[in-house]
Amino acid sequence: MNKIPLLDHNDERPLHRQAEEKLRLLVKSPEYRKGQLFPKETDLAKRWGISRNTLRQAIDKLVNEGLLERKKRSGTRVTDKKISTNLSNWVSFTHEMEDKGIPFHNLLLKAEMKKATKLVEGFLDIKEDTQLVYLQRIRSTGKNPMVYFESWFHPRIGLTGNEDFEKPLYEMLDEEFHIVPLISREEIRAIAATQRIADILKIKKGEPVLERKRLVLDAGKRPIEYNVCYYRSDWFTYSIEIKREL
């Protein structure tokens, strides 16, 4: 622990950004690259003089980028290999379903300006209290919800919330704002539905749901969108094709 650099509380930068910077240095250090567990969150938070929530915000970003992995009862360690999904052949959810012959429609489509949460501020690398376009969508083939999307968009894009979000999202960003999504950094896990998600998807609280968190970047690896999706497990499976590098 003594080798871990301290944070500068006189620095104007937010503490979670400083913590993220120090964590990236630890990720590169030989002992952690070899699989040594990171210090406990409680110990690291005490050393840096920050709350565990602030520390987790920094750790969550590196986990989402594939640099760290966190396991219950084991701890946090550097991943063996960083995996990113290349979007050169990636299409919007609408086009993907159309290709499968499944006509989806929106049960809910709501866009509004909203203050970003602390978590979103970290992922999109924006200032505190920034107002962003927040998009909610519930999609289905019939009357019952099948998937729920929440998206936050970087203010650099220039969205106002009045755009036609009935169009395929990434097609619209390309055509109207010249923004081309290229990289997706994803975290996928099975969770028990909270009461809020259960109400949205019309299932029982505690039922299994597939949660996918996605950070979308452009060609310059600048953040475009932070997106969280909740899929009903009785309707969806999520398959990934990974090519082995020889």
For 173-216, the pLDDT digits (tens) are 999 999 988 888 888 889 999 999 999 999 999 999 999 999 99
In this prediction, residue 86 carries a pLDDT of 47
Strand ranges in the chain using DSSP code E only, listed in sequence order: 68-71, 75-78, 85-86, 105-115, 131-140, 147-153, 183-192, 208-217, 223-232
In this prediction, residue 226 carries a pLDDT of 96
Residue 241, domain member (yes or no): no
> How are beta strands 208-217 and 183-192 bridged, if at all?
antiparallel
Residue 3, domain member (yes or no): no
The residue out of 24, 45, 78 marking a domain boundary is 78
Residue 111, domain member (yes or no): yes
In this prediction, residue 49 carries a pLDDT of 94
For 4-13, the pLDDT digits (tens) are 888 999 988 8
Distance CA 69, CA 67 (A): 7
In this prediction, residue 213 carries a pLDDT of 92
* Domain enclosing residue 64, as ranges: 15-78
Looking at the structure, tell me whether residues 120 and 219 fall in a common domain.
yes
Looking at the structure, tell me whether residues 66 and 98 fall in a common domain.
no
In this prediction, residue 19 carries a pLDDT of 92
Distance CA 170, CA 157 (A): 12
In this prediction, residue 85 carries a pLDDT of 47
In this prediction, residue 210 carries a pLDDT of 92
The residue out of 46, 78, 110 marking a domain boundary is 78
In this prediction, residue 242 carries a pLDDT of 65
Q: Per the structure, how many domains does the chain have?
A: 2
Looking at the structure, tell me whether residues 155 and 188 fall in a common domain.
yes
Looking at the structure, tell me whether residues 128 and 35 fall in a common domain.
no
Token duo for residue 205: 């609280």
Residue 52, domain member (yes or no): yes
In this prediction, residue 177 carries a pLDDT of 94
Residue 1, domain member (yes or no): no
In this prediction, residue 61 carries a pLDDT of 85
Looking at the structure, tell me whether residues 139 and 26 fall in a common domain.
no
Residue ranges in the chain modelled with pLDDT below 50? 83-88
Residue 7, domain member (yes or no): no
Looking at the structure, tell me whether residues 96 and 202 fall in a common domain.
yes
Token duo for residue 56: 């987790």
Looking at the structure, tell me whether residues 128 and 178 fall in a common domain.
yes
Looking at the structure, tell me whether residues 126 and 210 fall in a common domain.
yes
> How are beta strands 68-71 and 75-78 bridged, if at all?
antiparallel
Q: What is the CATH number of the domain that holds 23?
A: 1.10.10.10
Looking at the structure, tell me whether residues 119 and 226 fall in a common domain.
yes
In this prediction, residue 246 carries a pLDDT of 62
**pTM higher than 0.85 for the full model?**
no
Residue 237, domain member (yes or no): no
Q: What residues are paired with 189 via a beta bridge?
A: 211
For 42, 48, 171, the CA distances from 11, given in Å and listed in that order, are: 22, 13, 41
The residue out of 31, 46, 78 marking a domain boundary is 78
Looking at the structure, tell me whether residues 90 and 72 fall in a common domain.
no
Residue 246, domain member (yes or no): no
Looking at the structure, tell me whether residues 93 and 57 fall in a common domain.
no
In this prediction, residue 96 carries a pLDDT of 64
Looking at the structure, tell me whether residues 68 and 135 fall in a common domain.
no
Q: What is the CATH number of the domain that holds 164?
A: 3.40.1410.10
